[in-house]
Homo-oligomer: A and B are copies of this chain.
Amino acid sequence: MATIKDIARRAGVGVATVSRALNRSGYVRPETLTKIEQVADELGYVPNRQARAMVNGSTQTFGILIPDMDNALFMRIVRGINDFAYPLGYSLLVMDSRGNPERERRICRTMQELRVDGLVLFATPGTANLLTTLDRTLPAVVIDRLLPSSDVPQVSVDHYKGAKDAVGLLLSVCQYPPAMISGPEQVTSSEARLQGYRDALRSAGVSPKDERIESGGYTYEGGYQAMRGLLTRGRSLDGVFAANDLSALGALRAIRDVGLRCPDDVRVVGFDDIEATRYVYPSLTTIRQPMDEIGRVAVDMLVKRVTGELVEVDPVLLAGKLIRRESC
């Protein structure tokens, strides 16, 4: 692999001149520059970023720690990060921890060893812990879920407001107060969505009843069972807000299995806007999370912190968008 030394020798100049020429820093006589570029080309020279990084400190890479690459929503965020980071000259080091805290720790370590310029962490139960391990000088931003308390910048979706909007829609078209298929406990997004549901009902002058809330655990199967429970239990049910699309899809199936029809008999609204929402029958009305935007904001924060700018520590909450389809 050719180095600037090789180029220097071949072009009959010093290495410093080659460096200046290739980087267009400092003065270089035009002819010298041409000559150098030509030689570099001949030799198929590819600069070594490691070496460059050693002297000027920046590797121009961001690290992304993600708990599951197979999660389409996560990847949409990563793609957003990619799209915004790329024009800025940043490359992405992406590692999947598979939700394993030990792996998370190791990956973070590796990324520090690789001297990434910044770190994007998808929040997991282990994240708070992880942050204490991290070098405080390494710019980091936590994404997707909110950490209870932290001085690290955070970007997430406004689950609460999204839920309120979803329930608002149901309230406006249903005859009875909508039921809810809730998500797992202890998960901030899930809790915020549940709270949004409750408050939306209250705003409409309805007091939320526990028997109209069934847990679906964010899963398809859970949503299915929850819906069946709701359906057998109570009458006067013509609308359901599911905490996420997966459980909404399960609900759709349950509705069909008991011989009812959506939206005619029961309307359903989900949350997330996963790909399948468009392909099922009826297609699912849902709250779309602004994934690209999350990526953009995250990169923005990172870049600011890299350049030394101050970044507000208050978590940024981005609004979701109601997407109406056939199910409501």
Decide if A46 touches B135 in the complex (CB within 8 Å): yes
Type the 1/0 row for A103-130, where 1 means its CB is closer than 8 Å to any CB of B: 1000001111111000000000000000
Q: Which of B54, B68, B220 contacts A50 (CB 8 A)?
A: B54
Residues of B within 8 A of A47 (CB): 113
Q: Which of B69, B114, B135 contacts A49 (CB 8 A)?
A: B114
Decide if A86 touches B82 in the complex (CB within 8 Å): no
Q: Once the chains are docked, how many angstroms separate the CA of A298 from the CA of B252?
A: 39
User: Which of A70-78, A196-204, A207-215 contacts the other chain?
Assistant: A70-78
Decide if A95 touches B82 in the complex (CB within 8 Å): yes
Answer whether residue A191 sits at the interface, using C-beta atoms and an 8 A cutoff: no
- If A72-B275, A75-B75 are given as contacts, then 7 extra A-B residue pairs at C-beta distance below 8 Å, sorted by A number, are A1-B135, A44-B135, A48-B115, A70-B79, A91-B110, A92-B95, A280-B280
Residues of B within 8 A of A96 (CB): 79, 82-83, 86
| Closest chain B CB from A317 CB (angstroms) | 23
Answer whether residue A98 sits at the interface, using C-beta atoms and an 8 A cutoff: yes
Q: Which of B49, B75, B114, B256 contacts A91 (CB 8 A)?
A: B114
Q: Once the chains are docked, how many angstroms separate the CA of A281 from the CA of B48?
A: 54
Residues of B within 8 A of A274 (CB): 275
| Closest chain B CB from A118 CB (angstroms) | 15
Nearest neighbor of A46 in chain B, beta-carbon distance: B112
Q: Once the chains are docked, how many angstroms separate the CA of A137 from the CA of B44?
A: 12
Q: Once the chains are docked, how many angstroms separate the CA of A275 from the CA of B75?
A: 14
Answer whether residue A279 sits at the interface, using C-beta atoms and an 8 A cutoff: yes
Q: Once the chains are docked, how many angstroms separate the CA of A219 from the CA of B179?
A: 35
Q: Once the chains are docked, how many angstroms separate the CA of A109 from the CA of B86?
A: 13
Q: Once the chains are docked, how many angstroms separate the CA of A246 from the CA of B278?
A: 11
Q: Once the chains are docked, how many angstroms separate the CA of A111 from the CA of B50?
A: 11
Answer whether residue A51 sits at the interface, using C-beta atoms and an 8 A cutoff: yes
